[in-house]
Amino acid sequence: MSKSIIIIIPYFGKFPEWSDLFFETLRCNSSIDFYFFTDCDIEIYEYSNIKYQKISFEDYISFVNNRIDLNFNPPNPYKLCDLRPLYGYIHYDIINKYDFYGWTDMDILFGDIRSFYTEDILSKYEVLSTHNVRISGHLSLFKNSKKNIMMFKKIYNWKEALYKKDFVGIDEHGLTNAYTLTIVDKINQKYNLKINNWFSVLLSKLKKKKLYLKEQYTTPFTQIPWIDGTINSEQPNTWYYIDGKVTNNRDGLRNFIYIHLFIPIIRL
């Protein structure tokens, strides 16, 4: 039996103009469940793998604070991105029946997720990211384990980060550091030292062994080199969504796990 996956998506305000196509790409990933907390009109997307709870932004924040005993008071829904490392704990009643849980954005269109995150990969790794240097805010998956669920408590100053009005980004850099930094790294970081030893290097490698950090080239027009080494405006500028797969005009038959919507999409 395939390992079960659920992706948690709190979203408030108004769905983006491409939401019909976004939900179509979710429907095509029928073996993965997507659970929304939202005040948007989601009832029209009657797909078997779309779960949801209609709730206001204010009531959702009250639920979060009651669940985790916080005084979280975000000024806008975007700040919820800093809450992502806590999803496994906050929504344990939802994720507890699944092998993996995760998060995603709505400014993307998915290809065939399972063709990238195969059963073999899900069996070997506990954390999966679409970037090779950090946990991704676009899409990340976590094995349903106590270690992963409670990892947010190892994020440096995580409560202070949540209480800041502006988005901090602990879902990416903060959580990545929690998984990868050794005690020596943390001492170096805190006191601006340069201590190093063989044990620290070995421990760092062991900690990263269960992390599947692989660049999936999902966001063109950035300074991150593309598959062929190009950067910025030289990167692929025409993308296609065809039969549940994402491709472009530059990389032949190569499929992509998703495309981050910086450019218009042609649907065929």
Last residue of a domain, one of 190, 216, 242: 216
CA angle 27, 53, 168 (to 5 degrees): 90
How many domains does the chain fold into? Answer: 2
Residues 175 and 258 reside in one and the same domain: no
Residues 240 and 125 reside in one and the same domain: no
User: What pLDDT is stored for residue 223 in this prediction?
Assistant: 86
What residues make up the domain containing 257?
Answer: 217-268
User: What pLDDT is stored for residue 208 in this prediction?
Assistant: 61
User: What pLDDT is stored for residue 232 in this prediction?
Assistant: 87
Q: Which residues of the chain have pLDDT under 50?
A: 183-184, 187, 193, 195, 198-200, 202-203, 206, 263-268
Residues 181 and 129 reside in one and the same domain: yes
Residues 161 and 224 reside in one and the same domain: no
Residues 162 and 228 reside in one and the same domain: no
User: What pLDDT is stored for residue 97 in this prediction?
Assistant: 96
User: What pLDDT is stored for residue 202 in this prediction?
Assistant: 43
Provide the CA 226 distance to its chain's centre, in angstroms.
Answer: 21
Residues 124 and 27 reside in one and the same domain: yes
- Among 105, 167, 171, which Cα is nearest to 142's? 171
Residues 64 and 18 reside in one and the same domain: yes
Residues 110 and 228 reside in one and the same domain: no
The residue behind tokens 């793998």 is: 49
User: What pLDDT is stored for residue 233 in this prediction?
Assistant: 86
Q: How many CA atoms lie within 13 A of 66 on its CB side?
A: 7
Residues 249 and 161 reside in one and the same domain: no
Contact 262, 256 (CB under 8 A): no
User: What pLDDT is stored for residue 267 in this prediction?
Assistant: 44
CA angle 46, 51, 56 (to 5 degrees): 105
